[in-house]
A and B are shown apart, each in its own frame.
Chain A
Amino acid sequence: MVNWTPDEKHYITSLWAKVNVEECGGEALARLLIVYPWTQRFFSAFGNLSSPTAIMGNPKVRAHGKKVLTSFGDAVKNLDNIKATYAKLSELHCNKLHVDPENFRLLGDILLIVLATRFAKEFTPACQAAWQKLASVVAHALAHQYH
C-alpha cells in the first residue's frame, strides 16, 4: 500500500480535476511517439506516423491517448488501491501486448511535461513531486504482474 500525505492527494486530485483527458492524453501519446520514436514499434496499425505533424494529427493516436489517460484516471480515483486497480491491465501488457515496462516510465515522464506546459502556475516542485510519485506507482503497478 502506498502512503499518500494529504498534501500529495490534494496536488493530485485538484490538478486532475482540471485535466482535459482527451487533449492531454492525445498529446502525451503523440509526444511519446515523437520524442522516443522507437515506441512506434507498438503501433504499426496506426497508419501515418511519418512525422511529428502526422503523429499529432493522427486520429488513432488521439483516441488511444484518450483511452490511456482515462485509465490513468482510475489511479487518481483509487489512490489507496492502485496495484489491484491495474492487475488485469498488467497481465494484458505482459501477455498480449508484450510492452517493456520501461515504456510506462517514459510515458509517465512525458505526461508530467505535458501537465507542466498546461498548468505552469500549479506545477510547483511539490506538485511535481506528488505527480512523479503517482506516475511511478502506476508504472510499478502495470509492471507488477509481469513474469
Chain B
Amino acid sequence: ILSPHCFQGGGLWDSLSLTSLPGRMFCVYPSTKTYFPHFDLHHDSEQIRHHGKKVVGALGDAVRHLDNLSATLSELSNLHAYNLRVDPVNFKLLSHCFQVVLGVHLGREYTPQVHVAYDKFLAAVSAVLAEKYR
C-alpha cells in the first residue's frame, strides 16, 4: 500500500523540470525517440514541453487516485494498447528519468522512503498502462 503522505505534489507537478522529462529521456535513451518521428525533437522544443505537460498531468492524476489506478488510467491504457503500442520496456526508462528529475528537484528530500514509494507507484502505473496489451 502506498502511503499518501509521501506524495506532497503541489508546485512540483507544475515545475519546468518535470515538463522537460521527455526531453531528458530522449537524450539519455535515444531509442525512445523512435516513437516520435512526427515530433520536432530539437532540445526543448515546444512539442516536447507540451507532451511533457501531458505526461506529468496524467501522473499527477494517478497520484491523486492511488487506490483506483486502473479506472483512472483506463483511457490511457486503451490508447497505449490499441493505438500507441509502446513496448513496456520504455515505461521503465521513463520512470527512471522521472526519478532522476525528482532527485534533482528534491535533493535530500528525495529520501529512500520517498524513493521506494515513487518506484512502486511508477511500476504500478506502468503495469496499468500495459494491462490491456494482450
Q: Mark A residues whose CB is within 8 Å of B.
A: 27, 30-31, 34-35, 52, 55-56, 109, 112-114, 116-118, 120, 123, 125-126, 128-129, 132
The distance from the CB of A55 to the nearest CB of chain B, in whole angstroms, is 8
Per the bound structure, the CA–CA distance linking A52 and B100 in Å amounts to: 20
Q: Contact string, B90-112, partner A, CB cutoff 8 A, digits 1/0?
A: 00000011011101111110101
Which of B20-28, B31-39, B60-68, B78-86 sits within the interface? B20-28
Per the bound structure, the CA–CA distance linking A109 and B27 in Å amounts to: 16
Q: Contact string, B1-39, partner A, CB cutoff 8 A, digits 1/0?
A: 000000000000000000010011001110000000000
Residue of A nearest to B43 (CB): A125
Which of B51-59, B69-77, B113-121, B126-134 sits within the interface? B113-121
Give the A-B contact count at a CB cut-off of 8 A: 60
Say whether chain A's binding surface is mostly helix, strand, loop, or mixed. Answer: helix
Residue among B28, B99, B105 making CB contact with A120, cutoff 8 Å: B105
Residue among B20, B23, B28, B107 making CB contact with A132, cutoff 8 Å: B28
When distances are taken between beta carbons in the complex, the residues of chain B under 8 Å from A55 are 112
Contact A118 B107 (CB under 8 A): yes
Per the bound structure, the CA–CA distance linking A125 and B24 in Å amounts to: 5
Per the bound structure, the CA–CA distance linking A128 and B30 in Å amounts to: 13
Contact A109 B112 (CB under 8 A): no
Contact B27 A35 (CB under 8 A): no
Contact B23 A125 (CB under 8 A): yes
Contact B115 A113 (CB under 8 A): yes
The distance from the CB of B115 to the nearest CB of chain A, in whole angstroms, is 6
Contact A116 B112 (CB under 8 A): no
Q: Which 8 A-B pairs have the closest CB atoms?
A: A116-B103, A125-B27, A117-B103, A125-B24, A120-B104, A35-B116, A34-B112, A129-B28
Contact A35 B24 (CB under 8 A): no
The distance from the CB of B16 to the nearest CB of chain A, in whole angstroms, is 13
Per the bound structure, the CA–CA distance linking A116 and B99 in Å amounts to: 9
Most buried by B among A35, A112, A126: A35
